[in-house]
Amino acid sequence: MNQLNGGIIHYARQVKAEGLESQFIGKNFVFDDRMGERITEDIISVCHQCDQPSDHHVNCANDDCHLLFIQCEKCGEKMKGCCTPECKTIFELPVEEQRKLRKGKIKHDAHSVYKSRLRPNLREVLKKKSV
């Protein structure tokens, strides 16, 4: 395995400066607010909700989930930035109701507490999607 000296971003700048064809295609995920740095215009991933081409990373808008996933603009609007209909339902609750969920006073069947966050039960979500 080889490692790029300076990383993908440095490589992309070198390729552009020298007018070369990039061997890296698409968008490079970065661990900051940008969530991605476009290297080429290729989109090699799909929206996790509608399977349309997308490379836009999103943290679920439900504060107790914040699952990192890929969501297209259309689904982002429809789902209000949430990863599942269950998370959207929680996201739309009044803040006080959300706090009750976090404290475990209300149990929601489609969610489980994971590392102090209320996360979708992804096995159940995927099972429903495949039916």
Whose structure tokens read 């699952």? 67
Residue 113 contacts residue 104 (beta carbons within 8 Å): yes
Q: Is 17 helix (H, G, I), strand (E, B) or coil?
A: helix
Question: CB atoms < 10 A from the CB of 21, how many?
Answer: 7
Of 13 and 115, the structure prediction assigns the larger pLDDT to 13
Q: How far apart are the C-alpha atoms of 45 and 35, rounded to whole Å? A: 15
Q: Are residues 74 and 102 in the same domain?
A: yes
pLDDT band at 2 (very low <50, low <70, confident <90, very high): low
* In-domain check, residue 45: no
Structural domain span for residue 121: 57-130
What is the reported pLDDT for 113? 47
What does the pLDDT look like over 33-81, one tens digit per residue? Answer: 888 888 899 999 999 999 999 999 999 999 888 899 999 999 999 999 9
Q: Are residues 15 and 78 in the same domain?
A: no
* In-domain check, residue 49: no
What does the pLDDT look like over 71-130, one tens digit per residue? Answer: 999 999 999 999 999 999 999 999 998 888 877 644 455 554 444 455 666 666 656 665
Of 22 and 5, the structure prediction assigns the larger pLDDT to 22
Query: Is residue 3's pLDDT more than 80?
Result: no
* In-domain check, residue 11: yes
Q: Are residues 115 and 78 in the same domain?
A: yes
> What length is written for the chain?
131
Give every CB contact of residue 29 below 8 A, 6+ residues apart in sequence.
Answer: 35, 36, 57
Q: How many domains does the chain contain in total?
A: 2
* In-domain check, residue 48: no
Residue 60 contacts residue 81 (beta carbons within 8 Å): yes
